Structure 1
Amino acid sequence: MNIIAKIYCSFKFHNAVIYKNLEILNSDNYKLGDVIGGGSYSRVYEGELDGKHVAIKMALREGRKSIHKELQIYDKVSHPHILPALGVHLAVENLLFMPLRKFSLADFFIDYGAIIQNNKLLRYCIQISSALKYLHEKNILHCDIKVDNILMKDDDGEEVEISDFGCAIDLAHDREARYNVLLR
């Protein structure tokens, strides 16, 4: 085994130990489709995993540290209004698999904004608040709440989920961030 293979295996093992609740995917039974989103640190693709339609988040080179922080957060959380992680593939690309959602709250407002009833808006606020309260109880700050990061959980627009933890801070593990938050 050459030195690069040893480092890669060590890296892979190290991360498998860190993620207690995320499923570590070792198979290459996935297909990348078209880009459906992304930012400075990652791209999100439509794809398939074991024959199911999924969203696949791939870290760019600059985003490797960010995606590992995101994975640690996904490993800690489980809430009905937080987009769940289906698994992670710790290959060179660091892939995060999530359920594919058809549209965000931003899309929903563009399509239906003038006719959304107040009781539906209130329901969204309650669901988002519930998820944020849960995160804060776990000492996690999302840091990027916006309508683009709130996804419609179902086609009829009754439930929403918070997504994209790329900017999130886990105050329990990030001492520098905790110090900066306390200073503000």
Structure 2
Amino acid sequence: MRISLWLRGAIVAAALLSIVGIWLWLGAEHRAGVDDDVVVKALDGFKDRGAAAEVAANIKDNYIATRKTSKNWSIASWSWTVLASALSLFSAFILKLESKLMSESAKKDFAALLAVLATLLIQVGTALDFKALWVANRLASAEIEAIAYQFLRTDGADPKEFYDNVGQTLHRKNQAIVGKSQTP
């Protein structure tokens, strides 16, 4: 099968867009927006306060980690959904084109390729359950934020008591990810 110049250009453009998208996604890691967060700044105020400083750092680190992970899974979930929809839409659009830029057989082949890619994205996104990963991390982030506010309200009194709360939150997050509702 001979690939037309237009089709090769479309494939190269899609590859370049994918590379740019991946680069932006990976670059978003350092711009997750939590370094200037009110909770993070407040927890930083516990430096040099013994056990309270240690617990504050633990809460802060887990809060930042769950926020960043939640953001990444959100990007993955929505990107795959939007990309699959766009590929499917573009597939139908190509079949409807009456332009002579491509032969009828090339249009059908290209449309079929786009439809297969859209289906593959849907299947992989469903199998990996990106949305559940996003939701589990988002809920964990919200719970850890609530723990942080509780810690701040008590001014770090009985700091070691907060380890259990953080640990239980992370355990529930992992249970949600692996699909288990019981403690092993």
TM range (shorter): under 0.3
> Larger C-alpha radius of gyration, 1 or 2?
2
TM-score, structure 1 as length reference: 0.24
If each structure's helix is expressed as a fraction of its own residues, which one has the higher value? 2
- Structure number with higher relative contact order (C-alpha < 8 Å, ≥ 6 residues apart): 2
Normalised by the size of structure 2, how large is the TM-score? 0.24
* Structure with a larger share of its residues in strand: 1
